[in-house]
Amino acid sequence: MAKRGYHHGNLRQALVDAALELIAETGPQGFTMAEAAKRADVSAAAPYRHFTGRDDLIVEIARQGFDLFADVLEYAYKDGQPSPLVAFEAVGRAYLAFARAHPGHYAAMFESGVAVNASKDLAAANARANNVLLRAAADLSARMPPDRRPPAAMFAAHVTALSHGIVALYARGTPGARAPFTAEQLLESGVGVYLRGLGFLDSDT
C-alpha cells in the first residue's frame, strides 16, 4: 500500500482517502480516527488538525460524494436529451453506477446517519444532486395528464427509494447472487411498473 501523509502536501485529503478505504471495508461506523491516521501514515493526533472527530471526517466524505454524484447525474441527464423518458432512465442507471464505483462515498452519504444539513457545503452538494433528480422527474411528469401527475418531489423520492433499495439488496457483491436479474433490469422494470401505474406508459409498452 502506498504511503500517505505530509509528503503528499494535503493531509486532509489523505485522511479522506484513508477513511474511504476503511468505510469500504468495515462500513461508516466501523473505524476510528486512530485507524484512519494509521492508514494515512500519520500520528494519531494529526487528524484533529483538520477534523473534530470521525463524524466531521464522514461529513467531508459525504460532501465530496454528493459533488461527484451530482456530476455523474448531470452528465447522464444531458438536459433531458434526447427525450425526457430516455434521460430519466439514464439518470437511474447512473445512480446504480455511482453506488458501484464509489462504495465508500455512497455509504457515507446514505448509510452513515450524517444529516445532510451537517454543514453548509454538504447541504449545497446534496441539493445540487437532488435538483438533477427533480428536473428529471418534473420534465417527465409534465407529459402526464394533470390528474395523474404526482408532485415532482414525490416522483423523484419514489424512484430514489426504489434505486436505493436495489443498491442495498442487489447491486453489491457478486452480480446475480441474490436475484436472477441485474440491478439495471430490476430498476428498469420497477420504473416501468411505476410509470404504467401513473398512466404514462401503455400496458403494451
> What digits encode the pLDDT tens for the residues 165-202?
999 887 665 555 566 788 889 999 999 998 888 877 66
Average pLDDT over residues 30-53: 91
CATH 1.10.357.10 correct for 58-197: yes
Rounded alpha-carbon distances, angstroms, from residue 37 to 13, 53, 201: 12, 12, 53
Domain ranges of the chain: 1-51, 58-197
Q: Give the separation between CA 65 and CA 125, rounded to whole angstroms.
A: 8
Q: What is the pLDDT of residues 126-162, one digit of tens each?
A: 999 999 999 999 999 888 888 878 899 999 999 999 9
Q: Give the separation between CA 11 and CA 42, rounded to whole angstroms.
A: 9
Residue listed under C-alpha cell 434526447:
82
Residue listed under C-alpha cell 476503511:
22
- Residues 198, 106, 57, 9: is their CA dihedral positive or negative? negative
Domain 1-51, second-level architecture? Orthogonal Bundle (1.10)
E-assigned strands of 32-166?
none
pLDDT of residue 82: 92
Topology match between the domains 1-51 and 58-197: no
Question: Does residue 60 contact residue 16 with C-beta atoms inside 8 Å?
Answer: yes
In angstroms, the first-to-last Cα distance of the chain is 51
pLDDT of residue 6: 46
And the C-alpha cell for 129? 444532486
pTM as predicted: 0.86
Q: For residue 106, what are the contacts with CB-CB under 8 A and spacing of at least 6?
A: 65, 98, 99, 167
Secondary structure of residue 178 in the 3-state scheme: coil
Q: Give the separation between CA 118 and CA 70, rounded to whole angstroms.
A: 18
CB atoms within 10 A of CB 156: 24
Average pLDDT over residues 105-111: 93
